[in-house]
Amino acid sequence: MIAERATKVKPSPTLAVDSKAKQLKAKGMDVVNFGVGEPDFDTPEHIKEAAIKAIKDGFTKYTPVGGIDELKEAIIEKLEKDNKLTYNKENIVVSCGAKHSLYNIAQALFGPGDEVIIPSPYWVSYPDQVLLNDAIPIIVNTYEEDEFMLRPEVLKEKITSRSKALILNSPSNPTGFIYTENALKEIAEIALKHNLYIISDEIYEKLIYDNEKHISIASLSEEIKEKTIVVNGLSKAYAMTGWRIGYAAGHTEIIKTMTTIQSQSTSNPTSIAQKAAVAALRGNQNCVSEMRKEFEKRRNFLVQELNRIPGVSCKMPKGAFYVFPNISNIFGKKIDKNIINSSMDLSIYLLEKALVALVPGSAFGAEGYIRISYATSMENLSKGIDRISKALEQLI
Ligand SMILES: *Cc1c(COP(=O)(O)O)cnc(C)c1O
């Protein structure tokens, strides 16, 4: 009954943990939710007002499929200013969130037999979006000791005549680490030599700490810019996850194809949300740095506290709002007759016994880790850490 393509994909595991936590909450349990993948802040006021104005002005009809000119121009200004990338309107398509942008790219570029290289730990939707387009995800390991940056020699080993693209995500969800300029240069060189497209998911670029800098791989040379599709959006930087605005920038022909695909599937992103996005991109950016500062404070606290727990070791990530502690030293420990043998075992134990929801590393293709989101209050962080620490003390 169901098409074979659709049987290959699974529901997003991060959303699955989130919904289990919500079920327990609905039963009246006081669950601390470290599973969330969205900022806990409210959308800034001036952005909401722009949307209200759009409604009142009657800006409530279909727009051009790939986004209104005003928003494309605001995106072009942003890419020029922040990333030193120069594009024209033909190089930009606005979609219903960065996830939708990524999906349109997969539809435009991938076909049966194409291999798409995905470094793990990866964001959960990359492999499934590849599978939905009959292509083959090729998962490549990265290592904690390299801050989870893809090693050039490991990348080279995985390249075949069928390799079509490489998906990069910096800052990374789930690890919080970022690629250095040198690492990006080495990857760009390999990509050009083997004619690989690079899909660069830069959705967390505004959430970077310790004066580190975000670098878009597309900005390294004109040649690599031609082969890169930059993906970004408003969800994480402006606390606008529900508004569903993301965008892609790249080669005219790819962008045109993505726009055509969009014209036959979703049509334009919401007119009102597009006006809000213009206000976000062109308005005062203090709201972004205020949220960034708060995230940084939480990160510092969380990493310090996690490293106090026996069996847990946590490197200081440089961006996004996740930490990705190594919990492999806990494997083999017991509670009653149950042995903790995987990150999933640990996550279930912590949810059921400590009422702390978090996502096992295995959901991101990386066993031996858990992902903790700090898109929640300091009070919740300290409550959750306390519970994790007490629950782990019970293991023998
Ligand atoms: C949140 C997220 C996205 C998607 O964000 P949208 O809300 O669809 O714009 C894409 N990539 C990563 C890595 C994310 O964490």
SS3 readout for 145-203: HHCCCCCHHHHHHHCCCCEEEEEEECCCCCCCCCCCHHHHHHHHHHHHHCCCEEEEECC
DSSP assignments along 268-331, one per residue: SPPHHHHHHHHHHHHS-THHHHHHHHHHHHHHHHHHHHHTTSTT-B-----BTTEE--B-GGGT
Q: Which atom of ligand 1 is nearest to the CA of 96?
A: 8
Residue 42 CB burial class (10 angstroms; 0-12, 13-18, ≥19): exposed
Backbone angles phi, psi at 371, to 5 degrees: -105, 125
Q: Which atom of ligand 1 is nearest to the CA of 123?
A: 13
Q: Which atom of ligand 1 is nearest to the CA of 98?
A: 9
Closest of 31, 29, 32 to residue 380, by C-alpha: 32
Instruction: Name the DSSP letter for residue 38.
Output: S
Least confident of 12-16, 38-42, 52-56, 297-301: 12-16
In this predicted model, what pLDDT tens digit does every residue of 84-98 receive, in sequence order?
999 999 999 999 999
What CA–CA distances, in Å, run from 160 to 114, 118, 195, 223, 365?
10, 14, 11, 21, 22
Q: Is the pLDDT of residue 247 over 70?
A: yes
Q: Does residue 205 have its Cβ closer than 6 Å to ligand 1?
A: no
CATH fold match for the domains 4-42+287-391 and 59-282: no
Q: Is the pLDDT of residue 18 over 80?
A: no
Q: How far is the CA of 353 from the centre of ligand 1 (A)?
A: 30
Average pLDDT over residues 116-145: 97
Q: Does residue 171 have its Cβ closer than 6 Å to ligand 1?
A: no
Q: How far is the CA of 384 from the centre of ligand 1 (A)?
A: 25
Report the run of H or E that residue 357 belongs to, with start and end: strand 356-357
Q: What is the pTM of this model?
A: 0.96
User: Which residues 6+ apart lie within 8 Å of 90 measured at CB?
Assistant: 252, 255, 256
Q: Does residue 37 have its Cβ closer than 6 Å to ligand 1?
A: yes
Q: Does residue 169 have its Cβ closer than 6 Å to ligand 1?
A: yes
pLDDT band at 168 (very low <50, low <70, confident <90, very high): very high
Closest of 164, 154, 172 to residue 198, by C-alpha: 164
For ligand 1, pick from 15, 96, 99 the residue to mutate: most ligand atoms within 8 Å of CB. 99
Which two structure tokens, joined as six digits, stand for 6?
């659709």
Q: Which atom of ligand 1 is nearest to the CA of 246?
A: 9
Q: Is the pLDDT of residue 133 over 90?
A: yes
Residue type, position 161, single letter: S
Are 17 and 356 in contact by the 8 Å Cβ rule? The answer is no
Are 323 and 317 in contact by the 8 Å Cβ rule? The answer is yes
Which two structure tokens, joined as six digits, stand for 16?
């699955």
Q: Is the pLDDT of residue 10 over 90?
A: no
Residue with the larger pLDDT of the pair 18 and 138: 138
Q: Is the pLDDT of residue 323 over 80?
A: yes
Backbone angles phi, psi at 378, to 5 degrees: -55, -40
Report the run of H or E that residue 88 belongs to, with start and end: none
Are 276 and 351 in contact by the 8 Å Cβ rule? The answer is no
Q: Is the pLDDT of residue 14 over 70?
A: no
Q: Does residue 172 have its Cβ closer than 6 Å to ligand 1?
A: no
User: Which residues 6+ apart lie within 8 Å of 64 measured at CB?
Assistant: 268
Average pLDDT over residues 48-71: 98
Domain 4-42+287-391 has CATH 3.90.1150.10: yes
Average pLDDT over residues 266-285: 98
Q: Which atom of ligand 1 is nearest to the CA of 236?
A: 1
What CA–CA distances, in Å, run from 1 to 103, 132, 135, 377?
24, 17, 22, 46
Q: Does residue 98 have its Cβ closer than 6 Å to ligand 1?
A: yes
Q: What is the total residue count of the chain?
A: 396
Mean pLDDT of the chain: 96
The ranges assigned to domains in the chain are 4-42+287-391, 59-282
Q: Is the pLDDT of residue 260 over 70?
A: yes
Are 16 and 348 in contact by the 8 Å Cβ rule? The answer is no
Q: How far is the CA of 246 from the centre of ligand 1 (A)?
A: 9
Report the run of H or E that residue 98 belongs to, with start and end: helix 98-109
Q: Does residue 243 have its Cβ closer than 6 Å to ligand 1?
A: no
Are 320 and 296 in contact by the 8 Å Cβ rule? The answer is no
Q: How far is the CA of 162 from the centre of ligand 1 (A)?
A: 27
Beta partners for residue 117, in sequence order: 138, 166
State residue 110's pLDDT score.
98
State residue 37's pLDDT score.
87
- What whole-number percentage of the chain has pLDDT above 70? 99
Q: Ligand 1: which residue has its CA nearest to atom 5?
A: 98
Q: What angle do CA 225, 228, 233 make, to 5 degrees?
A: 110
Q: Does residue 142 have its Cβ closer than 6 Å to ligand 1?
A: no
Which two structure tokens, joined as six digits, stand for 172?
């990374």
State residue 390's pLDDT score.
97
Query: Tell me, which fold does domain 59-282 have in CATH?
Result: Aspartate Aminotransferase; domain 2 (3.40.640)
Instruction: Name the DSSP letter for residue 231.
Output: E
Q: How far is the CA of 314 from the centre of ligand 1 (A)?
A: 24
